[in-house]
Amino acid sequence: MKGKIIVLAIVILLAVGFIVKQAIPKKYTYEAVLLDTEAKVLYKAKIPLGVKFPIKSPYSGKKTAYPAYQCAKDGTIFPYVPPPPPKEGEEVSPDYGIPKCPKDGSLDVDVPILPEGKTFIKLK
């Protein structure tokens, strides 16, 4: 009899643990290449999905980090500053919200690749 109660208690504990685990929202992170616009540092960081930019940079200690992009044509590395959401009825350009090279306006951009083994580089 006692053994059965213990088994039952374990089953209940496991079930409760499972329910609690399911109830906690999962936090997804991904590795992004970010650009600290103040410290001028390009770095890799694990950031939560759907995070609002700018986020706090460990290099400047401030909210100055944006997703980094690099122009495929001229190699310009630039921060992607998300535009403010358009107002209702506002007309936006077809390239609205798309990362664009600040030098030549090219949409042919990519996430910059850091040198092998490096997690950050200082930009000039």
Size of the site for Zn ion (CB under 5 A): 8
What are the residues whose beta carbons fall under 8 Å from the beta carbon of 60, sequence distance 6 or more?
36, 38, 39
Name the minimum Å distance from CB 37 to Zn ion. 18
Site string for Zn ion, 66-95 (x = CB under 5 A): -----x-xx-x-------------------
Name the minimum Å distance from CB 108 to Zn ion. 8
Distance CA 43, CA 74 (A): 20
Name the minimum Å distance from CB 124 to Zn ion. 17
What are the residues whose beta carbons fall under 8 Å from the beta carbon of 123, sequence distance 6 or more?
35, 40, 41, 42, 77
39 touching Zn ion, by CB under 5 A: no
Task: With beta carbons less than 8 A apart as the criterion, state whether 93 and 102 touch.
Answer: no
Site string for Zn ion, 95-114 (x = CB under 5 A): ------x-xx-x--------
Choose one: 3-11, 36-44, 64-72, 89-97; the region binding Zn ion (CB under 5 A).
64-72
Map residue 5 onto helix, strand or coil.
Answer: helix
Closer Cβ to Zn ion, 60 or 106, answer by number: 106
Task: With beta carbons less than 8 A apart as the criterion, state whether 34 and 67 touch.
Answer: yes
Which residues sit at the interface with Zn ion, rule CB under 5 A?
71, 73-74, 76, 101, 103-104, 106
